[in-house]
């Protein structure tokens, strides 16, 4: 699997709107919808999308642990990242289904996170040693938060030299036509517990 656990953090600014309601809001405080009717929306939960799965560093001999469960309206991923046995990452991944994001300009994610920070990966290549688009999610609260990420701020990370690094190449509409899978991965190669919960991802 992909040893993206060696990624050095590359943080971008993203807009975050905090909310304390455990149920998914459909509008902002000024009554504007969070996303349009044309958005591609992935709703998580027992009655919605429940096909994501874990990919921990145990596939490479590591000992990090991450358990994925589904609540009524969210995905919950929690565990401990450990750098023992040359490990240091844990992740959850969508099924392999080609998705065309070229008509969208941003990703909107409602989430809450404690402990280890996470990155979102939009994989346009099938193998770990090939380039992947990545964005490091930065939030300063453990409450429910809506994060907006321009797709143009997803950067290509390359592993051609054996150590993944940001190339400076950013996502464009031309390069986002065939996203093979999506993934949330622990951002830092360091020990620590985490709890990461996602209500929805919307591309708009």
Closest to 121 (Cα-Cα) out of 84, 60, 68, 164: 164
pLDDT tens string 19-34: 555 455 555 555 578 9
Q: How crowded is residue 45: how many other Cβ atoms within 10 Å of its Cβ?
A: 17
pLDDT of residue 15: 53
pLDDT tens string 51-92: 999 998 887 788 999 999 999 899 999 999 999 988 888 999
Distances (CA, A) of 35 to 19, 25, 111: 16, 11, 15
Better-predicted residue by pLDDT, 191 or 162:
191
Residue 94 has pLDDT above 60, yes or no: yes
Q: What are the chain's domains?
A: 4-20+38-203 (2.60.120.260)
When pLDDT is cut at 50, 70 and 90, the band that residue 5 belongs to is very low
Average pLDDT, the chain: 85
pTM: 0.84
Contact 43, 51 (CB under 8 A): no
Better-predicted residue by pLDDT, 178 or 88:
178
Closest to 26 (Cα-Cα) out of 14, 34, 38: 34
- Helix or strand holding residue 93 (H, E): strand 90-93
Residue 101 CA to residue 56 CA, distance in Å, equals 27
Residue 11 CA to residue 126 CA, distance in Å, equals 25
């Amino acid at each position: 699997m992909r040893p993206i656990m060696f990624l050095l953090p590359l943080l971008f600014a993203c807009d975050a709107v905090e909310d304390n309601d455990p149920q998914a809001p459909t509008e902002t405080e000024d009554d504007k919808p969070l996303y349009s009717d044309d958005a591609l929306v992935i709703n998580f939960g027992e009655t919605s999308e429940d096909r994501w799965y874990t990919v921990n560093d145990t596939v490479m001999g590591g000992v990090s642990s991450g358990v994925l469960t589904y609540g009524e309206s969210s995905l919950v991923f929690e565990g401990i990242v450990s750098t023992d046995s040359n490990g240091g990452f844990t992740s959850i991944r969508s099924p392999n289904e080609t998705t065309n994001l070229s008509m969208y300009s941003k990703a909107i994610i409602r989430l809450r996170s404690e402990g280890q920070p996470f990155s979102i990966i939009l994989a346009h290549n099938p193998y770990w040693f090939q380039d992947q688009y990545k964005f490091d999610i930065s939030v300063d609260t453990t409450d429910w938060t809506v994060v907006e990420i321009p797709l143009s701020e997803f950067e290509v990370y390359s592993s051609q030299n054996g150590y993944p690094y940001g190339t400076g190449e950013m996502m464009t509409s031309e390069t986002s036509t065939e996203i093979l899978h999506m993934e949330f991965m622990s951002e830092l190669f360091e020990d620590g517990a985490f709890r990461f919960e996602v209500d929805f991802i919307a591309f708009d």
